[in-house]
Structure 1
Amino acid sequence: MKNKLKRKGFGLVLVMLLWGCFLKAQSLGSLVEEALHSNPEIQKFEWQYARASERVNEVNTLPNTEFGMGYFASEPETRTGPQRFKVSAKQMLPWFGSITARENYASALADAKYEDIVVAKRKLIASVSQSYYKLFAIRSKQIVLGQNIKLLKDYEVLALNSLEVGKASAVDVLRLQMRQNELERLKKVLEQNFVAERTVLNKLLNRQVDVEVTVADSLPIPEDNMEFALEDLALHPELLKYDKLYHSVEQSELLNQKESSPMFGFGLDYIAVSERPEMDFSDNGKDVVMPMVSLSIPIFNKKYRSKTKQNQLLQKELLSEKQLRLNKLEALFQKAVTDRSAARISYNTQSLNLKQAKNAENILIKGYETGTIDFNDVLDVQELQLKFQIDRIEAVKSYYVQTSIINYLSK
């Protein structure tokens, strides 16, 4: 039941993560689902958890039953006859509750191991999402470069027309062509970057590197941010694991106390006796059957006292590690929130700049109609426009990458 609740909470995290993918959200959602089912690291942690859970059955056992057999090389003579051989069996039993304590300790370790699965899945979701957003940014930049190359070609036509009537120089045409060449180079480089990042994403999904990945056409930044409280970090699985480990140390100490108690056992000895020749009495040749009871007392129990001290020190260590990890998660959370706000500011600023750059472009086009176009200004405006477009794409990518980090940290 507890695992089902955890999986339900984990599903809510997944839903919150995917809310931002506007047009083709299912594409990212399907990639995440595929990764969760096929990623070998997740499978590794699941096998580790299954192995830890199976250990509960391993510890639910009694000590080995001891059997022994001896043959008298020199048969001792007794009143009822000479003894020939001896057979014995012995079973030791742990102190009351020792087996239950072992099971509880093994179960506590398995519960702590389960948190590794939850953490690994959250990290995988964040990695898949961030890789997806990087692919979106690369593809969007390619589209923007293509639009700017087309724009420069239009300007080139204007420059050639102006050259014919003596209102532009051949240098202006060459500058426009060189700028086109540079943008073509950047576009080809981005294609290589896309292939490299696609490989990263496909490997997260444990599939072939050349499998095609479809990204969203656009990722609009929402009007309002989905807010998360800093207090939610207290329920993060990375911190819950320390609680589970602390509990396992408590179970370890209970087990230690049980193991420091005596053990008792029972057994049976059977001795075969031969008849004494030429004698006639009632117990002649009667075998010996001897029930036995034993008690094992740990008189020298220094190791158990040392184990108690180690458990106490380990609990203090876990508390310190938990606080250290909490501090790092809080710092990461605050940075992600700040960077996401900065991305929104940058997006709004670049959108405004783009409007102004578009206005400047319109003024230049009208200047061509009056024969006063300056192609140096054309290149300057085009470069500014491209910069604003690229910066806006980076702002969108940063916004969603930081959102994926916040989602990883939130419950």
Structure 2
Amino acid sequence: MKPIFFKALKVMPVCVLFLLSLAYRVAFATDEIASPSELTDLQSYLTQALAENPQLDAFEKRYEAAIQRIPQASALPDPMFQVTHFVESVQTRTGPQENVFMLSQKIPWFGKLSSRENAASAEAEALWYAYQSQQLMLARMVSVAFYEYGYTQEAIRLTEENRDLLRKLEPIVEEKVRTGGDLNALLRLKVEIGKIDDRLQSLRQKRIAQSAKLGELLALPESTLLPWPKWAAPETVSPDGLSLVAAIRENNPELQMLERKISSAEARREIARLESFPDITLGFNYIQTGDPVVNPTTPDAGKDPWGFTVAVNIPIWFEKYDAAKAEALANQRSFESEYNNRLNALRAELSTSLATLEDANRRLKLYGDELLGLAEQAVENSRASYESGRTGILEVIDSERSLLDLQLLFWRAASDAWQQRITIQTLANLPILGTFHATQNNE
């Protein structure tokens, strides 16, 4: 049975259909973005992408085109009007026949039009869900790129802080060298600062590339360097896998699209079955007769005869009809196999994302609650020990490097956690900016 949405297509105004086609966008987008400088949080990124991305607009137009195929599929064939003019009139007892007018209408066998309408409706629904799937894919790509851009932001910030701290040590090391200290300590410090500067340059180039990719997804008119995003490390969340699998079965638009393709294939099978039934053509004939010359007193002389005709085509090419049925069945089986394959792939992708999310949660807790505090204390101790002469510069450099590595690992875990949460929510078609509908645990 067709959903109420598609049953109402034939009576709804075009403007209402257009508003319905935009309903899914409204879940993400509310206002258009006026300037790239206003792109700061994930909501603003999604709003811009869903409003302006041309690939998404192309999917929407395909869906709108598919809607227009529904009334075409359910319409009767055009009637035929035929005029025959006799160059040499046929003489009859009532007078010469001059013109013959014929009007005929072909009527397909019972069920053919409704089956074609069902197939077109199912195909339009499939494109509607393909449009939704593209929206989710775009939102996922934007969100993942957003948090990757955010990680680069933190990497640059932390690397600059680490470089600045080491530069503050330079006057202290130089003073020790002037008073007879080891020159090698100053050289090692300068080498470390140079390596950090090199890393910073690479990160800044990476920012330009990431900004350009985001600009493409957001359909920004200029290749402007986007401002840093606003984001923070997430709370650890452990979604319920079984509930998410059920949500994928029920809500994932790719699966819903394939279900509609299966429905369309079933309708095509019915069409193929009905092709072996004859169509009926009803007609009306009108013969224009001139004034009789030979026997004007003949009864009904000069009157124009008319009549009805009924024609039936004879479907005798059974091999053709059997081949059409076999083709329709094979198409249906292919969509069913594609559905099963896609469901398996989505479940595997969900399992991978859940495992990656759990690992990111573990790393967030390990670095945030334990190791970062210890590394910060180690940096303070090593700096104090160096300034008092109890240790060498290598210990300071190693402790600073270790702290930077742990800080980067923490923000890598934060970015990974957000990206996997986005992936899971798009797989199950859950609101990206909302919470999981499945059971969740905050640790």
Q: TM-score, normalised by structure 1?
A: 0.88
**Alignment partner of 1:190 is 2:207:** no
1:56-95 equivalent positions in 2, closer than 5 A: 56-95=70-109
Deviation at 1:146, TM superposition (A): 0.9
Go from structure 1 to structure 2 and tell me whether the alpha carbon gap of 1:360 and 1:214 turns closer, same or farther (over 3 Å shift).
same
Deviation at 1:266, TM superposition (A): 2.2
**Alignment partner of 1:148 is 2:162:** yes
Q: Indicate the SS of the match to 1:202.
A: helix
Match for residue 210 of structure 1 among 213, 223, 227? 223
Q: Indicate the SS of the match to 1:270.
A: strand
Deviation at 1:112, TM superposition (A): 1.0
Deviation at 1:363, TM superposition (A): 2.2
CA contact (8 A) 2:382 2:399 kept: no
CA contact (8 A) 2:237 2:361 kept: no
**Alignment partner of 1:201 is 2:248:** no
What is the aligned-residue RMSD (CA, Å)? 2.7
Q: Unaligned regions of 5+ residues in structure 2, if any? A: 7-18, 30-37, 430-443
The whole-number CA distance in structure 1 between the counterparts of 2:292 and 2:39 is 95
Question: Residue type of the partner of 1:205?
Answer: L
Go from structure 1 to structure 2 and tell me whether the alpha carbon gap of 1:301 and 1:139 turns closer, same or farther (over 3 Å shift).
same
Instruction: Find the counterpart in structure 2 of residue 163 from structure 1.
Output: 177
Q: Indicate the SS of the match to 2:271.
A: helix
Question: Residue type of the partner of 2:420?
Answer: Q
Percent identity of paired positions between Structure 1 and Structure 2 = 24
Q: Indicate the SS of the match to 2:237.
A: coil
Instruction: Find the counterpart in structure 1 of residue 33 from structure 2.
Output: none
Instruction: Find the counterpart in structure 2 of residue 332 from structure 1.
Output: 349
Deviation at 1:196, TM superposition (A): 1.0
Q: Write the deviation string for residues 272-323 of structure 1: whole angstroms up to 9, x where unpaired.
A: 3333435341333333323322222323343333222222222222221111
**Alignment partner of 1:386 is 2:404:** yes
**Alignment partner of 1:408 is 2:408:** no
The whole-number CA distance in structure 1 between the counterparts of 2:24 and 2:212 is 30
Deviation at 1:205, TM superposition (A): 1.1
CA contact (8 A) 2:39 2:226 kept: no
Q: Write the deviation string for residues 89-137 of structure 1: whole angstroms up to 9, x where unpaired.
A: 2222222343232222211111111110111111111100011111101
Instruction: Find the counterpart in structure 1 of residue 191 from structure 2.
Output: 178
Go from structure 1 to structure 2 and tell me whether the alpha carbon gap of 1:402 and 1:142 turns closer, same or farther (over 3 Å shift).
same
Q: Write the deviation string for residues 152-203 of structure 1: whole angstroms up to 9, x where unpaired.
A: 012212212222322x222221221222122122112211111111111111
After alignment, is 370-379 or 131-140 more displaced?
370-379
Instruction: Find the counterpart in structure 2 of residue 240 from structure 1.
Output: 256
Question: Residue type of the partner of 1:374?
Answer: G
CA contact (8 A) 1:199 1:209 kept: no
Go from structure 1 to structure 2 and tell me whether the alpha carbon gap of 1:310 and 1:328 turns closer, same or farther (over 3 Å shift).
same
Instruction: Find the counterpart in structure 2 of residue 322 from structure 1.
Output: 339
The whole-number CA distance in structure 2 between the counterparts of 1:128 and 1:306 is 46
Go from structure 1 to structure 2 and tell me whether the alpha carbon gap of 1:279 and 1:208 turns closer, same or farther (over 3 Å shift).
closer
Go from structure 1 to structure 2 and tell me whether the alpha carbon gap of 1:95 and 1:218 turns closer, same or farther (over 3 Å shift).
closer
Go from structure 1 to structure 2 and tell me whether the alpha carbon gap of 1:11 and 1:331 turns closer, same or farther (over 3 Å shift).
farther
The whole-number CA distance in structure 2 between the counterparts of 1:29 and 1:81 is 84
CA contact (8 A) 2:54 2:219 kept: yes
CA contact (8 A) 2:24 2:132 kept: no
Q: TM-score, normalised by structure 2?
A: 0.82
Match for residue 131 of structure 2 among 117, 120, 128? 117
Deviation at 1:206, TM superposition (A): 0.8
The whole-number CA distance in structure 1 between the counterparts of 2:387 and 2:289 is 129
Instruction: Find the counterpart in structure 1 of residue 148 from structure 2.
Output: 134
The whole-number CA distance in structure 1 between the counterparts of 2:23 and 2:237 is 26
CA contact (8 A) 1:221 1:344 kept: no
Instruction: Find the counterpart in structure 2 of residue 219 from structure 1.
Output: 232
Instruction: Find the counterpart in structure 1 of residue 384 from structure 2.
Output: 366
Go from structure 1 to structure 2 and tell me whether the alpha carbon gap of 1:101 and 1:217 turns closer, same or farther (over 3 Å shift).
closer
Deviation at 1:369, TM superposition (A): 4.5
The whole-number CA distance in structure 2 between the counterparts of 1:246 and 1:278 is 69
Number of residue pairs aligned between Structure 1 and Structure 2 = 401
Instruction: Find the counterpart in structure 2 of residue 30 from structure 1.
Output: 44
Instruction: Find the counterpart in structure 1 of residue 15 from structure 2.
Output: none
The whole-number CA distance in structure 2 between the counterparts of 1:35 and 1:91 is 50
The whole-number CA distance in structure 1 between the counterparts of 2:294 and 2:357 is 106
The whole-number CA distance in structure 2 between the counterparts of 1:57 and 1:32 is 35
The whole-number CA distance in structure 1 between the counterparts of 2:230 and 2:301 is 102
The whole-number CA distance in structure 2 between the counterparts of 1:10 and 1:74 is 69
Instruction: Find the counterpart in structure 2 of residue 277 from structure 1.
Output: 293
CA contact (8 A) 2:81 2:103 kept: yes
Question: Residue type of the partner of 2:280?
Answer: F
Question: Residue type of the partner of 1:234?
Answer: R
Go from structure 1 to structure 2 and tell me whether the alpha carbon gap of 1:209 and 1:189 turns closer, same or farther (over 3 Å shift).
farther
**Alignment partner of 1:256 is 2:269:** no
The whole-number CA distance in structure 2 between the counterparts of 1:217 and 1:226 is 24
Question: Residue type of the partner of 1:72?
Answer: F
CA contact (8 A) 2:149 2:229 kept: no
CA contact (8 A) 2:85 2:100 kept: yes
Q: Unaligned regions of 5+ residues in structure 1, if any? A: 16-23
The whole-number CA distance in structure 2 between the counterparts of 1:10 and 1:47 is 14
1:346-365 equivalent positions in 2, closer than 5 A: 346-351=363-368, 352-365=370-383
Question: Residue type of the partner of 1:116?
Answer: A
